[in-house]
């Protein structure tokens, strides 16, 4: 990889006549398309796709992969994203022909193994979260949030209660929470955090009422702090007739420690691509199953997998269901990976996962809180936040620190989130990283803190070692170029 050379686009290496595909030998008559369908339906020009040989193709995507950082490349302490190791055997399991090459509309008797896996996964996720029933249909976390809110809406409406139009969301919440509330047709009311970084109970009590459909909460929250007033919070919401929604983004902290169902939550979504090792894939696919307590079961999307005697069936007979949220049965391939992980770890392993994730985060916090401000200097759970305000006072921003970390071979932490922490740096190590890795990262962070004081330009001009330097994001937004145009077609 030569970092001085611009990476070509696959369109730029295209040459007419090359191909990286071979069509099966013909067995049926090779009639012309225009003899089979009216010519008026046919496209006038072929699709302008790149024409490359198979080796061209392999070199191109290999080159691209070399310009990308994954968990396998190095430490990835991205807060609230749970960038843990993605086990290789899970990839193999999802690719077994009996899982990868089955059609969702095959007769159920021909897919009993797939249905059994789904049924068992539903059961196991219900145990892990302390809920009564689980649907595997939502495709991702945000999709699960929206599904959960639609369930809550259906629940209220079924009781003739149409005045609950508001969803409460703490100021530290992920952006998907208010966005999902909006797509589900609710207005969002922001609940403030108090000086502890937790939900301000007084503010909550002021805002919760007979127009409250639900409170959405991440616990531990995005500051990595356990909402220790959870029992009072649940009581306040329930007494007002609202439902409590658990955003499972941070569930890596609580397995075997405290279950959402026991905390008083009525609806839970899990991100199987976070806690349960589904790979993030550069942005997806994920999987966002939703679990509910008994009184919400009737509204779950259809179908649900059920066991009847020794057979597994798809239950569509759910008259009060909110309907479908996704075609077929969800992201089955990701669910296979999560199932493979759960079976590998067992209950004992999952409980250890959360405890070790918590220990790792607290260890890093202890090592870093001298050099960086720790706005909430208490024991955290699986992640924690630092503030770069001390460095900002010296003219170096959190963004610069993040860019400098790239030179050390690390993916930076989440930055500028949550929004209620100035110059926020949010670190989540996960349990799959060794003490040596944590130490090396902490050493880099301490060195950068020192550089900020002694040689700030090194940080301000970072990164120095990556294939490109800082990108002009303003230009990208002001003059959007969202696709490649062949050279001769470029307009000024």
Which 25-84 residues touch another protein, going by CB under 8 A? 26-31, 33, 36-38, 41-44, 46-52, 54, 57-58, 60-73, 76, 78, 81, 83-84
Q: How far is the CB of 377 from another protein (least distance, A)?
A: 12
Report the candidate in 177, 79, 84, 178 with the shortest Cα–Cα distance to residue 398: 79
Report the candidate in 378, 370, 380 with the shortest Cα–Cα distance to residue 442: 370
Structural contact between residues 397 and 456, judged by C-beta atoms closer than 8 angstroms: no
Residues 158-177 that bind another protein (CB under 8 A): 174-176
Considering beta carbons, is residue 347 or 395 the nearer one to another protein?
A: 347
Considering beta carbons, is residue 454 or 477 the nearer one to another protein?
A: 477
Report the candidate in 56, 53, 48 with the shortest Cα–Cα distance to residue 489: 48
**Element (DSSP H or E) covering residue 37:** none
Considering beta carbons, is residue 15 or 450 the nearer one to another protein?
A: 15
Residue 479: is it exposed, middle or buried by C-beta count within 10 angstroms (0-12/13-18/19+)?
exposed
Considering beta carbons, is residue 44 or 454 the nearer one to another protein?
A: 44
Start-to-end CA span in the chain (Å):
32
User: Three-state DSSP class for 290?
Assistant: strand
Considering beta carbons, is residue 242 or 279 the nearer one to another protein?
A: 279
Which of 262, 295, 422, 453 is close enough to bind another protein by CB under 8 A? 262
For residue 459, CA distances in Å to 68, 300, 402, 407 come to 22, 51, 9, 10
Task: Tell whether residue 311 is a contact of another protein (CB under 8 A).
Answer: no
Q: What's the CA angle centered on 70, arms 68 and 73, to 5 degrees?
A: 95
Q: How far is the CB of 449 from another protein (least distance, A)?
A: 18
Considering beta carbons, is residue 42 or 454 the nearer one to another protein?
A: 42
Which tokens is 157 given? 């409406």
Considering beta carbons, is residue 240 or 276 the nearer one to another protein?
A: 276
Q: How far is the CB of 373 from another protein (least distance, A)?
A: 18
Q: How far is the CB of 326 from another protein (least distance, A)?
A: 6
Residues 181-210 that bind another protein (CB under 8 A): 181-185, 187-188
Q: How far is the CB of 237 from another protein (least distance, A)?
A: 15
Considering beta carbons, is residue 52 or 204 the nearer one to another protein?
A: 52
Which of 241, 284, 298, 456 is close enough to bind another protein by CB under 8 A? 284
User: Three-state DSSP class for 190?
Assistant: strand
Rounded Cα gap, residues 449 and 391, in angstroms: 7
User: Three-state DSSP class for 427?
Assistant: strand
Structural contact between residues 418 and 424, judged by C-beta atoms closer than 8 angstroms: yes
Q: How far is the CB of 320 from another protein (least distance, A)?
A: 13
Report the candidate in 447, 429, 449, 425 with the shortest Cα–Cα distance to residue 438: 429
Which of 216, 270, 290, 336 is close enough to bind another protein by CB under 8 A? 336
Task: Tell whether residue 395 is a contact of another protein (CB under 8 A).
Answer: no
Strands 166-170 and 187-191: parallel
Count interface residues toward another protein (CB under 8 A).
208
Residues 111-150 that bind another protein (CB under 8 A): 111-114, 116-117, 124, 127-128, 130, 139-143, 145-146, 150
Q: How far is the CB of 234 from another protein (least distance, A)?
A: 9
Cβ partners under 8 Å of residue 268, min gap 6: 129, 131, 148, 245, 246, 248, 260, 261, 290, 291, 292
Q: What's the CA angle centered on 212, arms 206 and 217, to 5 degrees?
A: 85
DSSP class of residue 366?
H
Considering beta carbons, is residue 351 or 444 the nearer one to another protein?
A: 351
Q: Taking contact as CB under 8 A, which single stretch among the options 277-285, 290-298, 389-397, 444-452 is the one that binds another protein?
A: 277-285
Considering beta carbons, is residue 455 or 461 the nearer one to another protein?
A: 461
Considering beta carbons, is residue 242 or 274 the nearer one to another protein?
A: 274
User: Three-state DSSP class for 479?
Assistant: coil
Q: Would you tell me the crossing angle of helices 112-129 and 332-368 to the nearest 10 degrees?
A: 30
Residues 206-235 that bind another protein (CB under 8 A): 225-226, 228, 230-231
Please tell me the number of Cα atoms within 13 Å of 390 on its side-chain side.
15
Q: Taking contact as CB under 8 A, which single stretch among the options 238-246, 338-346, 383-391, 447-455 is the one that binds another protein?
A: 338-346
Task: Tell whether residue 238 is a contact of another protein (CB under 8 A).
Answer: no
Considering beta carbons, is residue 176 or 387 the nearer one to another protein?
A: 176
Which of 243, 269, 273, 293 is close enough to bind another protein by CB under 8 A? 273
Task: Tell whether residue 98 is a contact of another protein (CB under 8 A).
Answer: yes
Q: How far is the CB of 473 from another protein (least distance, A)?
A: 5
Structural contact between residues 227 and 265, judged by C-beta atoms closer than 8 angstroms: no
**Element (DSSP H or E) covering residue 69:** none
Which of 79, 94, 387, 445 is close enough to bind another protein by CB under 8 A? 94
Considering beta carbons, is residue 153 or 243 the nearer one to another protein?
A: 153
Residues 421-480 that bind another protein (CB under 8 A): 431-435, 463, 466-473, 475-477, 480
Residues 364-393 that bind another protein (CB under 8 A): 365-367, 378-379, 381
Cβ partners under 8 Å of residue 417, min gap 6: 79, 80, 222, 424, 426
User: Three-state DSSP class for 331?
Assistant: coil
């Amino acid at each position: 990889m030569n970092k001085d050379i611009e990476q070509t686009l696959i369109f730029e290496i295209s040459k007419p006549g090359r191909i990286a595909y071979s069509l099966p030998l013909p067995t049926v008559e090779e009639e012309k398309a225009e003899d089979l369908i009216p010519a008026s339906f046919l496209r006038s020009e072929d699709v302008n796709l790149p024409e490359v040989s198979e080796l061209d193709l392999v070199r191109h995507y290999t080159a691209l992969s070399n310009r990308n950082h994954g968990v396998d490349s190095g430490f990835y302490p991205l807060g609230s994203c749970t960038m843990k190791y993605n086990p290789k055997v899970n990839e193999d399991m999802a690719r077994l022909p009996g899982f990868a090459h089955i059609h969702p509309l095959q007769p159920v008797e021909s897919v009993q193994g797939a249905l059994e896996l789904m049924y068992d996964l539903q059961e196991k996720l219900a145990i892990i979260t302390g809920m009564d029933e689980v649907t595997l249909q939502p495709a991702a976390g945000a999709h699960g949030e929206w599904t959960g809110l639609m369930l809550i809406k259906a629940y209220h409406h079924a009781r003739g209660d149409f005045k609950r139009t508001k969803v409460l969301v703490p100021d530290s919440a992920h952006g998907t929470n208010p966005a999902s509330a909006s797509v589900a047709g609710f207005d969002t009311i922001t609940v403030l955090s108090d000086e502890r970084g937790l939900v301000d109970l007084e503010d909550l009590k002021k805002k919760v009422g007979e127009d409250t459909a639900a409170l959405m909460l991440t616990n531990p929250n995005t500051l990595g702090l356990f909402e220790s007033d959870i029992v009072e919070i649940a009581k306040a919401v329930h007494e007002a007739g609202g439902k409590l929604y658990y955003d499972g983004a941070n569930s890596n902290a609580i397995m075997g420690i405290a279950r959402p169902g026991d905390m008083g939550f009525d609806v839970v979504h899990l991100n199987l691509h976070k806690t349960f090792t589904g790979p993030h894939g550069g942005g997806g696919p994920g999987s966002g199953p939703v679990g509910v307590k008994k009184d919400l079961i009737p509204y779950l999307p259809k179908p649900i997998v059920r066991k009847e005697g020794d057979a597994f069936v798809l239950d569509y007979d759910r008259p009060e269901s909110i309907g479908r949220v996704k075609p077929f049965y969800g992201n089955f391939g990701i669910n296979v990976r999560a199932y493979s992980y759960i079976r590998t770890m067992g209950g004992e392993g999952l409980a250890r996962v959360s405890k070790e994730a918590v220990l790792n985060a607290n260890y890093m916090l202890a090592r870093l809180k001298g050099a960086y401000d720790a706005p909430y200097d208490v024991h955290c759970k699986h992640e924690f936040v630092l503030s770069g305000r001390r460095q900002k006072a010296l003219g170096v921003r959190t963004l610069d620190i993040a860019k400098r970390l790239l030179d050390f071979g690390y993916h930076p932490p989440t930055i500028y989130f949550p929004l209620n922490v100035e110059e926020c740096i949010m670190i989540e190590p996960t349990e799959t990283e060794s003490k040596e890795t944590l130490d090396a990262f902490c050493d880099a962070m301490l060195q950068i803190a020192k550089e900020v004081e002694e040689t700030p330009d090194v940080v301000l001009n970072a990164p120095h070692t990556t294939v490109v330097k800082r990108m002009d994001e303003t230009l990208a937004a002001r003059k959007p170029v969202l696709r490649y145009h062949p050279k001769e077609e470029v307009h000024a």
